[in-house]
C-alpha cells in the first residue's frame, strides 16, 4: 500500500448556499451553471475549450445520503482523519443498499499522505491519493461576532493531499470495529498524536445530509488534459433550501503529473473564478466537510 501514486487534482470552491435556493434539480443546477459559472469558464479557457453540445451542461444527477462519524473526543479529527458513510438514494427518497464507508487522511504534507498505509479489510476496498485544492483562506483564531474566513488581497490556493480508502459497508459503531476494517489506523494515529481511543469508544454521527451531485460538464485545458465539473448541493435536516453549495473540477493525472500548460490554465481558472464570483464565494467556512463533522466534547 505504501507508495500510492497521485491520481488526480480537484479544485473546490465553496459558494454562498443562497445561490441555489430551492430544491435541487438538474434544471436549477444548469441555470446556476449557465448564468454564473460557464461564462467565466468560456472566457478564461476560450469558447473552443467547452463542448458545444455534450459536455457543455450537466446531464447527470447523483443523489445520496451522507453522514460523518467520530468519537465524542474527536480522535479521528485530531489525527486529520474523517470517516464518512455514503448511501445512494433512489428517486422516491429510499436508500439503496448498505452504502460505503470512506476513511480519509487529509494533510498539507504530501509525504505524510503518500507514506501512510491505509489498507481496507472489508468488502471491495479501493484506495486513492488525490490533491484537494481550495482558496487560500484561514479561520480567525480570535472569538467574536465576525467569524468570516480571511483571504489574501491577491487570491491564491491552499493545497492538501487526501489518502482515502472506500469499502462497501455500513458505518461501524465503535472505534474497535473501525480499526478492524482499517488495520493500520491505530498505528497511524499513534504516529500522528498520542491520544488513542479505546476499542469500546462509541462513534457518534454528525448531521444526516442529503447530497445532490450534478455532473457531465467538461472543458479542455490543453496539452491533452480535460477537467470535469461537478456542482454539489447539501441539504441539512429539516431544511427546505441548500445548506452548502460547491463548484469543483477534477483533472486526472498522467503518470502522477500534469503538463505545464495544463497546470497553468487550471490554476488560473481557479483564481479567476474566485475573483469574478466575488460575493458569491462562501466566507463563513473553508470547506463543506467542516459543516458535517460531529461536534467534539468541549467545543461550542
Nearest Cα residue to 119 out of 197, 180, 199: 180
Closest CA to 234 of 11, 24, 13: 24
What integer best gives the mean pLDDT of the chain? 91
- Is residue 298 pLDDT above 70, yes or no? no
Using one digit for the tens of pLDDT, what is the confidence trace for 185-229?
999 999 998 678 899 999 999 999 999 999 999 999 999 999 999
Query: Average pLDDT, stretch 223-238?
Result: 95
Strands 244-252 and 225-235: antiparallel
Among residues of the chain, what percentage have pLDDT more than 90?
Answer: 73
pLDDT by residue (tens digit) across 110-126? Answer: 999 999 999 999 999 99
- Report d(CA 273, CA 191) in Å as an integer: 38
The owner of cell 467556512 is 285
Q: How far apart are CA 37 and CA 231, in angstroms?
A: 10
Q: How many Cα atoms sit within 13 Å of 165 on the Cβ side?
A: 23
Question: Residue 20 has what pLDDT?
Answer: 87
Q: Residue 69 belongs to what H/E stretch?
A: strand 60-71
pLDDT of residue 238: 86
> Which residue in 221, 214, 217 sits closest to 252, CA to CA?
221
Using the predicted structure, report yes or no on whether residue 142 has a pLDDT greater than 70: no
pLDDT band (50, 70, 90) for residue 149: confident
Residues 6+ apart with CB under 8 A from 154: none
The pLDDT of residue 176 is 96
pLDDT of residue 91: 74
| C-alpha cell of residue 85 | 458513510
Q: Does domain 6-291 have CATH number 2.40.320?
A: yes
Query: Residue 277: which of 155, 176, 183, 139 has the closest Cα?
Result: 155
Per-residue pLDDT at 225: 97
Per-residue pLDDT band at 147 (split at 50, 70, 90): low
Q: What is the pLDDT of residue 168?
A: 96
Q: Enumerate residues 6+ apart whose C-beta is below 8 A from 292.
A: 66, 67, 68, 206, 207, 209, 234
Name the percent of the chain lying above pLDDT 70.
Answer: 95
**Stronger pLDDT, 145 or 245, i.e. the higher one:** 245
pLDDT greater than 80 at residue 237: yes
- Please say whether the beta carbons of 121 and 101 come within 8 A: no
* The pLDDT value given to residue 1: 40
Residue 286 pLDDT = 76
The strand pair at 6-15 and 123-135 is best described as: parallel
Question: SS in 3 state form for 185-209?
Answer: HHHHHHHHCCCCCCCCCEEEECCCE
CA distance 233 to 20: 8
Whether the predicted pLDDT of 244 surpasses 60 = yes
Alpha carbon distance 169, 185 (integer Å): 17
* Strand-pair partners of 10: 132, 250
pLDDT grade for 240, boundaries at 50, 70 and 90: confident
Q: What is the pLDDT of residues 11-38, one digit of tens each?
A: 999 999 988 877 799 999 999 999 999 9
pLDDT in tens, 64-106: 999 999 999 999 999 999 999 999 997 777 777 889 999 999 9
Measure Cα distances from 117 to 1, 68, 109, 167, 219 in Å. Answer: 6, 21, 15, 15, 34
- Confirm if 286 and 293 have CB atoms less than 8 A apart: no
State how far Cα 297 lies from the chain centre: 25
What pairing do the DSSP bridges indicate for beta strands 6-15 and 244-252? antiparallel
Amino acid at each position: 500500500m505504501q507508495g500510492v501514486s497521485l491520481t488526480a487534482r480537484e479544485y473546490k470552491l465553496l459558494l454562498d448556499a443562497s445561490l441555489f435556493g430551492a430544491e435541487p434539480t438538474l434544471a436549477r443546477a444548469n441555470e446556476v451553471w449557465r448564468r454564473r459559472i460557464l461564462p467565466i469558464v468560456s472566457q478564461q479557457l476560450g469558447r473552443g475549450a467547452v463542448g458545444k453540445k455534450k459536455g457543455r451542461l450537466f446531464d447527470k444527477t447523483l443523489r445520496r445520503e451522507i453522514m460523518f462519524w467520530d468519537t465524542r473526543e474527536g480522535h479521528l479529527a485530531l489525527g486529520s482523519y474523517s470517516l464518512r458513510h455514503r448511501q445512494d438514494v433512489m428517486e422516491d427518497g429510499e436508500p439503496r443498499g448498505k452504502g460505503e464507508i470512506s476513511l480519509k487522511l487529509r494533510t498539507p504534507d504530501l509525504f505524510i499522505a503518500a507514506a501512510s498505509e491505509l489498507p481496507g479489510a472489508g468488502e471491495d476496498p479501493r484506495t486513492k491519493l488525490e490533491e484537494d485544492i481550495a482558496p487560500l483562506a484561514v479561520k480567525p483564531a480570535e472569538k467574536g461576532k465576525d467569524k468570516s474566513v480571511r483571504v489574501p488581497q491577491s487570491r491564491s490556493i491552499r493545497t492538501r493531499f487526501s489518502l482515502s480508502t472506500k469499502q462497501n459497508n455500513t458505518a461501524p459503531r465503535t472505534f474497535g470495529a473501525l480499526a478492524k476494517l482499517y488495520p493500520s489506523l491505530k498505528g497511524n494515529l499513534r504516529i500522528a498524536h498520542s491520544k488513542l481511543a479505546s476499542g469500546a469508544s462509541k462513534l457518534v454521527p454528525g448531521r444526516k445530509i442529503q447530497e445532490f451531485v450534478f455532473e457531465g460538464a467538461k472543458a479542455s485545458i490543453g496539452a491533452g488534459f480535460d477537467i470535469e465539473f461537478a456542482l454539489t448541493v447539501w441539504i441539512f435536516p429539516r431544511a427546505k433550501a441548500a445548506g452548502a453549495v460547491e463548484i469543483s473540477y477534477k483533472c486526472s493525472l498522467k503518470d502522477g503529473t500534469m503538463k505545464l500548460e495544463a497546470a497553468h490554465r487550471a490554476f488560473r481558472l481557479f483564481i479567476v473564478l474566485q475573483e469574478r464570483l466575488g460575493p458569491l464565494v462562501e466566507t463563513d467556512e473553508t470547506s463543506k466537510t467542516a459543516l458535517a463533522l460531529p461536534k467534539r466534547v468541549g467545543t461550542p
